[in-house]
């Protein structure tokens, strides 16, 4: 659909590091994920200095709506600056966290 491969599992960022280290990568995630301590520890551990972080405000809601046209429009708009410039896209949209203290 968009000509960019997506990997949508949490360990995907490490997998990209292991198998495509020298390639530019885009991490698409909720703003909360990108700002989270857990994600930042992972990001800095595997950062190849070719990774861009893209907060996808509203994307999870659009997916939940099930409106494919709206989703396609959103993705085309948010990804237009990255098309042809990244080799990998890592997608992480949930921000569930539990304080068990």
For the chain, give the percent of residues with pLDDT over 90.
Answer: 38
List, for residues 51-60, the tens digit of each pLDDT value: 999 999 999 8
- The domain limits of the chain are 6-90
Secondary structure string (H, E, C) spanning 27-58? EEECHHHHHCHHHHHHHHHHCCCCEEEEECCC
Burial (CB < 10 A; 0-12, 13-18, 19+), residue 38, is exposed
Q: Which of 33, 18, 28 is nearest to 59 (CA)?
A: 28
Q: Which CATH architecture has domain 6-90?
A: 3-Layer(aba) Sandwich (3.40)
List, for residues 27-43, the tens digit of each pLDDT value: 999 888 888 888 888 88
């Amino acid at each position: 659909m968009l000509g960019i491969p997506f990997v949508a599992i949490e360990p995907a960022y490490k997998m990209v590091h292991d198998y495509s280290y020298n390639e530019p990568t885009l991490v698409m995630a909720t703003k909360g994920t990108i700002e989270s301590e857990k994600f930042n520890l992972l990001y800095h551990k595997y950062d190849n200095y070719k990774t861009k972080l893209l907060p996808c405000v509203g994307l999870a809601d659009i997916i939940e709506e099930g409106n494919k046209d709206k989703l396609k429009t959103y993705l085309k708009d948010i990804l237009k600056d990255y098309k042809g410039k990244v080799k990998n896209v890592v997608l992480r949209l949930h921000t569930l966290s539990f304080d068990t203290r």
